[in-house]
Structure 1
Amino acid sequence: MLTSGTILLAGSLLSPNPGLIFWTAITFVIVLLILKKIAWGPIIGALEEREKGIQSSIDRAEKAKDEAEAILRKNRELLSKADAESEKIVREGKEYAEKLRTDITEKAHTEAAKMIASAKEEIEQEKRRALDVLRNEVADLAVLGAERIIRESLNADMQKKVVASMIQDMSSKRN
C-alpha cells in the first residue's frame, strides 16, 4: 500500500492542479513582495557597499602601485646620480693622486738637483780651499828653499843688493 500511496501522491504532484498553481503563484508573489520590502534594500545596499569597498580597494591598490612605481623611478634616478657622483669622486681622486704624485716627484727632483748643486758647490769650495792651502804651503816651502839657497850662495853685500833691487821693483810696480 505504501507503494501505491507513494505513486498516488507522486501522481498528484505531477498532475496540474489549478488551485495549487494559483496558491503557489500567490505565495510566490507575497514572498517576493515581502523580500522586496524587507530584504531587497539591505541586500542591494550590502552589494553596493561591497562594490564600493572593492572599488575603493582597487583604487587604493592602483594608487599604491603608482606611488611604488614613482618611488622606484626616483630610487633609480638617485642610484644613477649616486653612481655618477661616485664615478666623479673616484675620477677626481685619481686625478688628485696623480697630480700629488707628479708634484712630489717634481719636488723630489728639484730637491735632488739643489742638493747635487749644493754638494758640487761645496766640493768646489773645498777644492779651492785645499788649493789655497796647498799654494800657501808650496809658497812657504819655496820661500824656505829660496831662503836656504840664498843664504848659502849670497853674502851680506849681495843680500843688500837683492833686497834693494826688490824694493825698487815693488815701488816701480806700484807707480
Structure 2
Amino acid sequence: MNLILAANLVSVEPGLIFWKSLTFLLLLFLLYKFAWKPILQALKEREESIDTSLRRAERALAEARQIQAENERIRREAEQEAQRILREAREEAERLRQEELQKTRVQIQQMQAQARAEIEREKQGALDELRAVVADLAIQAAEKILRESLDADRQRRLVERFLESLPASKN
C-alpha cells in the first residue's frame, strides 16, 4: 500500500476530477447527439429484421408442414389408386383367362362335333358302299339264280356256294 501512495496513484486531485468529469459528460453528450440514435436505430432495425425472419421462418415451417401433409395425402391416394389399378388388372386378367378358357372349350366342342359329323359321314359312306356291294351281290346272285331255273334244293346249294365264295368279313 505504501508503494501505491508513494507513486501518487490514489491521491485525490480536484482539478483532475473536474476535467475527467467534464470529458466524460462531453463524451456522453457527443455519443447521445451523434451515436446514440444511429445505434438505437441499428438495434431497432436488427430487432425488426430478426422478428421478420422469425415470422418468415414460422410461415415457412407452417407451409412445409402443410406441404408435407399434402404430400402424405397424395402419396396415400396414389397408393390407393395403385392398389385399385392392380386389383382391376387382376380382375381383367382373370376375366380374359375365363373368356379364353370358354373360347377354347367352345372350339374343342366344335372340333368334337365336326369330328363326330365326319365320322358319321364316313360311317354313312361306308354303309352306303356296303349296301351298294350287297345290292350288287344280291343282283349277281339273283342273276345266277334266274339263269338257271333250278328247283329249291339246287337253289339252296347255289346260294350256299355263292356265300362261301364271298370273302369272310371281320367283325
TM over 0.5: yes
RMSD: 2.2
1:111 maps to 107
Q: Is residue 126 of structure 1 aligned with residue 113 of structure 2?
A: no
Q: Residue 148 of structure 2 aligns to a residue in which SS?
A: helix
The one of the two structures with greater contact order (alpha-carbon pairs below 8 A, sep at least 6) is 2
Give the whole-Å Cα distance in 2 for the aligned partners of 1:88 and 1:125: 54
Q: Is residue 138 of structure 1 aligned with residue 134 of structure 2?
A: yes
Q: Residue 14 of structure 1 aligns to a residue in which SS?
A: coil
The alpha-carbon deviation at position 15 of structure 1 amounts to: 2.1
1:26 maps to 22
2:13 maps to 17
Q: Is residue 46 of structure 1 aligned with residue 42 of structure 2?
A: yes
For residues 156-167 of structure 1, the aligned pairs below 5 Å read none
Q: Residue 110 of structure 1 aligns to a residue in which SS?
A: helix
The alpha-carbon deviation at position 99 of structure 1 amounts to: 0.6
Higher mean displacement: 17-26 or 127-136: 17-26
Higher helix share: 1
Q: Kindly, what percent of the aligned residue pairs are identical?
A: 46
Give the whole-Å Cα distance in 1 for the aligned partners of 2:128 and 2:27: 144
1:62 maps to 58
Compute the TM-score of the two structures, normalised by the length of structure 1. 0.77
The alpha-carbon deviation at position 64 of structure 1 amounts to: 1.7
The alpha-carbon deviation at position 19 of structure 1 amounts to: 3.3
Give the whole-Å Cα distance in 1 for the aligned partners of 2:126 and 2:101: 36
| 1:53 alignment partner AA | S
Q: Which runs of 4+ in 1 moved over 3 A?
A: 5-9
Q: C-alpha offsets along residues 31-66 of structure 1, whole Å, 9 cap, x if unaligned?
A: 112211111000000010111111112222222222
| Residues matched between the structures, number | 150
- Unaligned regions of 5+ residues in structure 1, if any? 155-175
The alpha-carbon deviation at position 69 of structure 1 amounts to: 1.7
The alpha-carbon deviation at position 80 of structure 1 amounts to: 1.2
1:167 maps to none
